């Protein structure tokens, strides 16, 4: 389904804080910070047909009005099946003009979106002739196909929510484990593209995990100013690391062909800060400067390129429970003296999302 994304969504910071009072304060700050997000949006869709119920393709549906948020005028064209759809400003009062070759035009005024921001508006056009009966039918609820909850999200501009993520290291890091708690904020940038099971839209998003922990083995090491010279007493490294992870680049393709389940695939990149240099390295051999010398440390800063798959399961319109599986690489890019990193970890997440 093609959509026009003319309006940007606005977060009511106070309302978000109420809804997310059980989430971490940092998530509320992430959601409320972008004050220029614009006005919240509803949406409109429907079908243009003739008196016999047959679709009228390529009809123009023009939305206008002094109280209609957004551009003074926007025009859509009906598809081959007669359907059309667009974003509408939350709080809008709009006028509709529908025209098609061979039919009398329809003019409908003062369609009120303030209390019902998601409308289904069907137009029945009369063919040019002596009769002059033109009807419109407004049905509540936003539906693309009967029972489709994905349709309501497919017309949204923004999505935000909280999530918990955890996993384990692979390869040489099977004794590493992870737990993360944070939030997600995404902006859908395109209308639906394509057909069949590949039909979908492109989303750009960010994730912030103010709570990040990694559990690693503990071991003893020493630090020497030179090989075998000025060595410290043995001390313990490893154990639990605490930090903050930010993923500012997350590119996601949402598959929108379903009714209740919206799968996705994504690639992303982020940065990680930990309270100690991560991961720990070193040993007790004073003759091994690569492990105990002055140039044998890692870094508190690491990068997290990653990719994965997931799905939204819609429990009701514009509300979904989410699950994903991601492969995450952790590396300092040699910011420290050594860069052992975590070549690959497998991390799974569960969360809840609101769509606006």
Rounded to whole angstroms, the Cα distance separating 214 from 18 reads 31
Q: Tell me, what's the pLDDT at 41?
A: 57
Contact assessment for residue 270 and residue 245, using Cβ atoms and an 8 Å cutoff? yes
Q: Tell me, what's the pLDDT at 181?
A: 98
- Residues whose CB is less than 8 angstroms from the CB of residue 205 and which lie 6 or more positions away in sequence, other chains included: 159, 184, 185, 186, 187, 250, 252
Q: Based on the number of CB atoms within 10 Å of its own CB, is 316 exposed (0-12), middle (13-18) or buried (19 or more)?
A: exposed
Rounded to whole angstroms, the Cα distance separating 254 from 324 reads 13
Query: Residue 341, by phi and psi: left (phi above 0), alpha (psi -120 to 50) or beta?
Result: left
Q: Tell me, what's the pLDDT at 135?
A: 44
Express each pLDDT in 246-264 by its tens digit: 999 999 999 998 889 999 9
Residue spans in the chain of domains classed CATH 2.40.160.20: 154-355
Contact assessment for residue 64 and residue 70, using Cβ atoms and an 8 Å cutoff? no
Q: Tell me, what's the pLDDT at 17?
A: 40
Question: Which neighbouring-strand residues pair with 306?
Answer: 268, 328
Which residues of the chain fall short of a pLDDT of 70?
1-42, 69-72, 89-91, 115-116, 129-147
* Count of beta carbons in the 10 Å neighbourhood of residue 43: 24
Residue spans in the chain of domains classed CATH 2.60.40.1120: 42-142
Q: Tell me, what's the pLDDT at 72?
A: 60
Rounded to whole angstroms, the Cα distance separating 61 from 180 reads 47
Print burial letters for 259-279: b (CB count within 10 Å at least 16), e (below 16). Answer: eeebbbebebebebebeebbb
Rounded to whole angstroms, the Cα distance separating 222 from 283 reads 6
Q: In CATH, which of 2.40.40.20, 2.60.120.10, 2.40.160.20, 3.40.50.10190 is domain 154-355?
A: 2.40.160.20
Three-class secondary structure of residue 26 per DSSP: helix
Architecture label for domain 42-142? Sandwich (2.60)
- Residue for token digits 């240099």? 277
Q: Tell me, what's the pLDDT at 95?
A: 85
- Quote the tokens at residue 154: 């497919």
Three-class secondary structure of residue 17 per DSSP: helix
Q: How far apart are the first and last CA of the chain?
A: 18
Rounded to whole angstroms, the Cα distance separating 189 from 335 reads 34
Please state the length of the chain. Answer: 356
Contact assessment for residue 95 and residue 68, using Cβ atoms and an 8 Å cutoff? yes
Prediction pTM value: 0.61
Express each pLDDT in 256-296 by its tens digit: 988 899 999 999 999 999 999 999 999 999 989 989 998 88
Q: Tell me, what's the pLDDT at 74?
A: 81
Q: Alpha helix locations (H) across the chain?
A: 13-19, 25-32, 150-154, 289-292
Contact assessment for residue 111 and residue 39, using Cβ atoms and an 8 Å cutoff? no
Rounded to whole angstroms, the Cα distance separating 310 from 317 reads 19
Q: Based on the number of CB atoms within 10 Å of its own CB, is 197 exposed (0-12), middle (13-18) or buried (19 or more)?
A: exposed
């Amino acid at each position: 389904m093609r959509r026009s994304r003319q309006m940007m969504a606005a977060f009511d910071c106070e309302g978000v804080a109420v809804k997310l009072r059980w989430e971490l304060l940092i998530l509320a700050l992430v959601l409320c910070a972008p004050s220029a997000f614009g006005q919240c949006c509803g949406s409109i869709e429907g079908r243009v047909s003739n008196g016999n119920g047959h679709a009228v393709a390529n009809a123009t549906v023009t939305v206008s009005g002094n109280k209609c948020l957004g551009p003074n005028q926007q025009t859509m064209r009906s598809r081959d099946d007669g359907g059309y759809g667009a974003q509408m400003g939350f709080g809008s009062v709009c006028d509709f003009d529908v025209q098609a070759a061979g039919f009398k035009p329809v003019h409908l005024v003062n369609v009120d979106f303030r209390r019902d921001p998601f409308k289904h508006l069907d137009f029945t056009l009369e063919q040019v002739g002596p009769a002059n009966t033109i009807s419109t039918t407004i049905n509540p609820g936003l539906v693309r196909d009967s029972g489709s909850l994905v349709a309501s999200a497919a017309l949204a501009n923004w999505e935000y929510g909280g999530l918990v993520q955890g996993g384990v290291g692979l390869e040489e890091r099977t004794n590493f484990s992870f737990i993360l708690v944070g939030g997600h904020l995404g902006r859908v940038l395109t209308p639906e593209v394509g057909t069949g099971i590949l039909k979908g839209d492109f989303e750009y998003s960010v994730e912030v995990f103010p709570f990040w922990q990694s559990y690693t083995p503990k071991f003893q090491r020493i630090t020497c100013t030179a090989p075998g010279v000025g060595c410290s007493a043995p001390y313990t490294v490893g154990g639990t690391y605490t930090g903050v992870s930010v993923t500012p680049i997350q590119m996601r393709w949402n598959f929108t062909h379903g009714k209740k389940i919206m799968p996705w695939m994504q690639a992303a990149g982020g940065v990680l800060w930990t309270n100690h240099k991560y991961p720990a390295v070193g040993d007790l051999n004073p003759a091994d400067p690569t492990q105990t010398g002055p140039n044998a440390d890692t870094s508190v800063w690491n990068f997290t390129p990653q990719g994965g798959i997931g799905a939204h399961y819609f429990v009701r319109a514009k509300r979904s429970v989410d699950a994903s599986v991601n492969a995450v690489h952790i590396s300092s890019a040699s910011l420290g003296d050594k860069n052992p990193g975590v070549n690959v970890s497998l991390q799974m997440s569960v969360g809840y999302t609101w769509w606006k």
